[in-house]
Amino acid sequence: MDDYTLLEKVGEGSFGYVWKAKDNRRKEIVAMKQMKESCTSLDECLELTEVKALIKLWGEPNIVRFRDVVLVNQVLYLVFDYVESTLHHLIEDRIHLCTEPELRDELLRVRVGLCSEPEIRGWSRQIFLALAQMHRPGGYIHRDLKPANLLVTKGGEIIKIADFGQALEVGCQAPCSDYVTTRWYRAPEMLLNSVTYNSAVDMWAVGAIMAELYSFSALFPGKNRQDQLDQICNVIGSPTHESWADGIQLANSCGYKFPHVPVFHGLASMIPSASPEAIDLIKSLCSWDPKKRPTAMEALQHPYFAPSLCELPEPMTSAKLEQRLYLTHICPGAKLLFGAF
């Protein structure tokens, strides 16, 4: 692996490791994802859903930029632009800025966040812009959106979706495993073992993330699957046959009984720093029924984003296609993969 030098390990997950590395050809710092599963050939690597998704979404400004595929002794490395931080680390850093323990504890106790609404609006808008492109026909469901998978540039202005290891092609007919998505951000249909869920699971996750940015506390911090569903009921009330008949049926099939919880807490009291427009959007994103959640494009047209309505995503342009053709000159595996589309 002469073209790259591994510098330090910066992350670890079920997939393997993430390294901060140096691109010796361009004298740049990059991120390299070392996969735990071995690959025997470059062709096999290029058949991975994660790699296909990264190539297909290459050039989107709010999706981490894929740079290269490296295969060394059957160990696969995916190379990306290096981005300084994640939303998870940003939240932790903001909390630690409160040097007085009593002040920090009080802020967390009353669930008042340390991010301004314009900041949260900007980050949320960028996430929806990325999802609007991802969720198009022939695109991908991410299935593991969480603060740790949202990269943030040093100044905090730009956010990028990363880690497509659990991605699934939109409209895929293969059964969907429920063993995806970190529990706190997992949509209820996934918790109830649905095998036909769709891109609405990503929208639920963004609703939970938005609430967390306001409160700096997880909205649904369940300890296990049953507790997760109970936590959701405690915040938004239990579903009924009228509000989500399919969910009641799913619960019956897997032996879970929804507790009888009317809506009495309310999101507004849990995240007092959020505007009425923010509360309304989060409520719609965290609807029990996936059909009632807005799509990414619909979310961008919500009054919460009124000042930015003129900047909706556009369809694929010739310029974007030229960008992807350029990728074939910097990513050895891209030429082979583009031939499949």
Whether residue 140 contacts residue 160, with contact meaning beta carbons closer than 8 Å, is answered with no
The Cα–Cα gap between 55 and 68 comes to: 10
Q: Does 163 qualify as catalytic in the annotation?
A: no
Q: Counting beta carbons within 10 angstroms of the beta carbon of residue 223, is it exposed (0 to 12), middle (13 to 18) or buried (19 or more)?
A: exposed
The Cα–Cα gap between 258 and 305 comes to: 34
Contacts of 146 (CB under 8 A, 6+ apart): 88, 181, 182, 184, 185, 205, 209
In this structure, what DSSP letter does residue 217 have? Answer: S
Whether residue 314 contacts residue 136, with contact meaning beta carbons closer than 8 Å, is answered with no
The Cα–Cα gap between 333 and 43 comes to: 8
The Cα–Cα gap between 84 and 104 comes to: 25
How far out from the chain centre does Cα 43 lie?
27
Q: Counting beta carbons within 10 angstroms of the beta carbon of residue 41, is it exposed (0 to 12), middle (13 to 18) or buried (19 or more)?
A: exposed
Q: Out of 68, 144, 163, 230, pick the active-site residue.
A: 144
Q: Which of 190, 193, 192 is nearest to 181 (CA)?
A: 190
User: Any idea which residues carry the catalytic annotation?
Assistant: 144
